[in-house]
Amino acid sequence: MKLQAMDISATASASSIVFDALRKAIIEGRIEEGEPLRQDEIARLFNTSRIPVREAISRLEEQGLVRTQRYKGAVVAGLSPQQTQEIFDLRALIEPEIIRNAVPNMSAELLEKAREKCAAFSASPDPMTWGDLNRDFHETLYSSSTLKFFMEIADNAIDRVERQIRAQLVMSNGMERAGREHFAILEACEKGDADLAARLTRDHILGAKTSLMEHLVPCEDREIR
């Protein structure tokens, strides 16, 4: 298990620290799908008892990142192609509404920050950073939205497919296209065109889904909507 050891024995929020560390490792693919989360091993790595580890794993299970299997206990959850498509389709419904709501509230400072995030994504040569930079860009634009419940759902959905997003960018050579689409979304926001920003965001998500499924699913099994 690729986790960095940490002494949290004297920390009040031990459960949250374990949760954040496990969540990050799962999303980044450092703990692979189907890999068991052994409570004793994790507790030893963090120098804590099994109680905060159990609480952290329970929270991960609520978010769909972990599932309990008979004889194996808690393991990192995987997604079928159908589940992956459903999550991208859900994002394509929710995220356009988030950005449509956000555009009227965007300040010049926020837009400048988003432009920096957009440039950082396009300039990065390191595939290991692409997922985080992609997410940073979108979340910066969404941050001025008042649709907090929508944002919570979208955040959880992105968690579930973060590994797939990274794979799509690498396998399909999708960085150049994603960079162009990010810039177009940003320009629509800078112009105050909320409807255009929403439409471009939807197209961006559905385009990523199509590209991903073309690389993951054999042609005869594909069912892109």
pLDDT in tens, 178-187: 999 999 999 9
pLDDT score, position 174: 75
> Do both 71 and 87 map to the same domain?
no
d(CA 191, CA 182): 14
Residue 158 lies in a domain: yes
Name 146's Cβ contacts closer than 8 Å, sequence gap at least 6.
101, 105
Here the tokens at position 92 are 């394509």
> Do both 152 and 62 map to the same domain?
no
pLDDT surpasses 70 at 5: no
> Do both 58 and 127 map to the same domain?
no
d(CA 196, CA 119): 21
Find how far residue 178's CA is from the centre of its chain. 15
Hey, how many other C-beta atoms are within 10 angstroms of the C-beta on 212? 24
Residue 109 lies in a domain: yes
> Do both 24 and 110 map to the same domain?
no
Which tens digit of pLDDT belongs to each residue from 9-43? 545 588 999 998 998 888 777 888 889 999 999 99
Instruction: Specify the CATH number for the domain of residue 147.
Output: 1.20.120.530
d(CA 127, CA 169): 8
Residue 7 lies in a domain: no
Residues in the chain, total: 225
Which neighbouring-strand residues pair with 76? 66
> Do both 122 and 37 map to the same domain?
no
> Do both 45 and 125 map to the same domain?
no
The residue whose two tokens read 């091993």 is: 41
Indicate the average pLDDT of the chain.
87
Region 174-199: mean pLDDT is 95
Using only C-alpha atoms, the chain has a radius of gyration, in whole angstroms, of 19
Residue 5 lies in a domain: no
Contact 210, 224 (CB under 8 A): yes
Contact 108, 190 (CB under 8 A): no
End-to-end CA distance of the chain: 37
Q: Which of 76, 103, 118 is the last residue of a domain?
A: 76
Phi, psi for 73 (deg, rounded to 5)? 75, -145
> Do both 48 and 21 map to the same domain?
yes
Which tens digit of pLDDT belongs to each residue from 96-133? 999 999 999 999 999 999 999 999 999 988 877 888 89
Q: Which of 33, 58, 76 is the last residue of a domain?
A: 76
The count of structural domains within the chain is 2
Residue 119: which domain range? 81-221
Here the tokens at position 132 are 């985080």
> Do both 93 and 107 map to the same domain?
yes
pLDDT surpasses 50 at 221: no
pLDDT surpasses 60 at 152: yes
> Do both 68 and 145 map to the same domain?
no
- pLDDT range class, residue 92, cuts 50, 70, 90: very high
Helices (H) and strands (E) in the chain, counts: 9, 2
Q: Which of 30, 46, 76 is the last residue of a domain?
A: 76
pLDDT score, position 220: 38
> Do both 144 and 206 map to the same domain?
yes
Hey, how many other C-beta atoms are within 10 angstroms of the C-beta on 125? 7
